[in-house]
Amino acid sequence: MSNRGVSCGSLSIPPAVRNAPTKEQTLHQEFLLDHLDFITDVLTAEQIHRKRDLPACCPHATPETLARSRGTDETYPCRYTEIHNPSGDTCPGAICECGDSLSGSDDPLDAVAAVALVESNKPASYLYFAKKERQLVADLRERFGTWGNIADLKQQTLNDYLHEHPSTTQEDKIGAGILSALLEDVAALQYTEGVTLCNFSRLQYDRFQEELAALPGIGEDDAWWLLLTAFDKPIWPADPQIDSLLCSFGLLTPEEAETSTTRHKLLENEITDRLLPVLHRALAGHACTGGVGQCEEDCEIRQFLLSHRLQVQQREQTNLTAIDLFAGAGGFSCGLAHSGFDMQWAIDFNEYATATYRLNHPEIPHRNIVCSDIRETDAAEQIRSTVGEPDLVVGGPPCQSLSLAGYRSRLAADDDYSTLDDERTSLYEEYLDIIRELQPKALVMENVEGIMTEVGDTGVRVIDRVLEGFEDIAATSEYGYEIQFDLVDLSKLGLPQSRDRVILIGVREDILENDFQIESIFENLGEDQSCKRTLRQALAGLPKLLRGEGGRVVAGKQPGSPSDYIAENFIAGDTDLSFNHRAREHPMEKDQRLFEEALDPGDTGWDVKYKKDDEYSDLIEYDVGTEENPRFKDKYRMLEWNEPAPTVVAHLAKDANSFVLPDYYEHVVDDEDRANKERYRGITPREAARLQSFPDDWIFLGPFTSWFRQIGNAVPPMVGRQIGNLLTPMLADETSVQTDRELPEPATSDD
Q: What DSSP string describes 64-88? A: --TTTEEETTEEPPPHHHHSB-TT-
Q: How far apart are the first and last CA of the chain?
A: 48
For the segment 384-413, the average pLDDT, to the nearest whole number, is 72
Quick: pLDDT tens for 193-215. 899 999 886 789 999 999 999 99
The pLDDT value given to residue 173: 52
Which of 288, 371, 399, 531 is the catalytic position?
Answer: 399
Residue 586 has pLDDT above 70, yes or no: yes
Higher pLDDT pick, 370 / 123 = 370
Residue 411 has pLDDT above 80, yes or no: no
The pLDDT value given to residue 573: 83
Residue 3 has pLDDT above 50, yes or no: no
- What mean pLDDT, rounded, does the chain reach? 88
52-56, 415-419, 510-514: the lowest-pLDDT one: 415-419
Cβ contact 556:543 at 8 Å: yes
19-28, 166-175, 708-717: the lowest-pLDDT one: 166-175
Query: Using 50, 70 and 90 to split pLDDT, how confident is the model at 373?
Result: very high
Residue 372 has pLDDT above 60, yes or no: yes
The pLDDT value given to residue 316: 83
* Total length of the chain: 751
Question: Angle at the Cα of 641 (from 638 to 646), degrees rounded to 5?
Answer: 55
The pLDDT value given to residue 744: 37
The pLDDT value given to residue 415: 55
The pLDDT value given to residue 201: 67
How far is Cα 678 from Cα 470, in angstroms, rounded to an integer? 53
- Amino acid letter, 65: T
The pLDDT value given to residue 632: 81
Query: Using 50, 70 and 90 to split pLDDT, how confident is the model at 175?
Result: low
Query: Using 50, 70 and 90 to split pLDDT, how confident is the model at 80?
Result: very high
The pLDDT value given to residue 213: 96
Residue 176 has pLDDT above 70, yes or no: yes
Quick: pLDDT tens for 292-348. 655 656 688 999 999 999 999 998 888 899 999 999 999 999 999 999 999 999 999
Quick: pLDDT tens for 444-475. 999 999 999 988 777 889 999 999 999 999 99
Question: Angle at the Cα of 337 (from 339 to 363), degrees rounded to 5?
Answer: 150
Query: Using 50, 70 and 90 to split pLDDT, how confident is the model at 514?
Result: low
Q: What percent of the chain has pLDDT over 70?
A: 88
CATH architecture type of domain 535-716: Alpha-Beta Complex (3.90)
The pLDDT value given to residue 91: 74
Burial (CB < 10 A; 0-12, 13-18, 19+), residue 280, is: buried
13-22, 31-40, 228-237, 629-638: the lowest-pLDDT one: 629-638
Query: Using 50, 70 and 90 to split pLDDT, how confident is the model at 743?
Result: very low
Query: Using 50, 70 and 90 to split pLDDT, how confident is the model at 19?
Result: very high
What ranges do the domains of the chain cover?
A: 15-304, 316-530+718-732, 535-716
Strand order from edge to edge, sheet including 481-489: 369-371, 342-348, 321-325, 392-395, 442-448, 500-508, 481-489
How far is Cα 347 from Cα 326, in angstroms, rounded to an integer? 6
Residue 171 has pLDDT above 60, yes or no: no
334 is catalytic: no
The pLDDT value given to residue 591: 94
CATH number of 316-530+718-732: 3.40.50.150
The pLDDT value given to residue 417: 42
Burial (CB < 10 A; 0-12, 13-18, 19+), residue 297, is: exposed
Task: Count CB atoms within 10 A of the CB of residue 143.
Answer: 11
The pLDDT value given to residue 399: 59
The pLDDT value given to residue 151: 94
- Give yes or no on whether 316-530+718-732 and 535-716 have one common fold: no
For the segment 563-592, the average pLDDT, to the nearest whole number, is 93
Residue 370 has pLDDT above 50, yes or no: yes
Q: What percent of the chain has pLDDT over 90?
A: 70
Query: Using 50, 70 and 90 to split pLDDT, how confident is the model at 740?
Result: very low
For the segment 55-83, the average pLDDT, to the nearest whole number, is 82
The pLDDT value given to residue 165: 83
For the segment 656-670, the average pLDDT, to the nearest whole number, is 96
248-252, 266-270, 400-404, 684-688: the lowest-pLDDT one: 400-404
Residue 50 has pLDDT above 50, yes or no: yes
For the segment 419-442, the average pLDDT, to the nearest whole number, is 84
How far is Cα 672 from Cα 688, in angstroms, rounded to an integer? 27
The pLDDT value given to residue 413: 54
On the CB side of 304, CA atoms within 13 Å amount to 27
Helix axes 428-438, 379-386, angle to 10 degrees: 40
Residue 31 has pLDDT above 80, yes or no: yes
The pLDDT value given to residue 742: 41
Residue 688 has pLDDT above 60, yes or no: yes
- Amino acid letter, 126: Y
28-37, 166-175, 334-343, 684-693: the lowest-pLDDT one: 166-175
Residue 738 has pLDDT above 60, yes or no: no
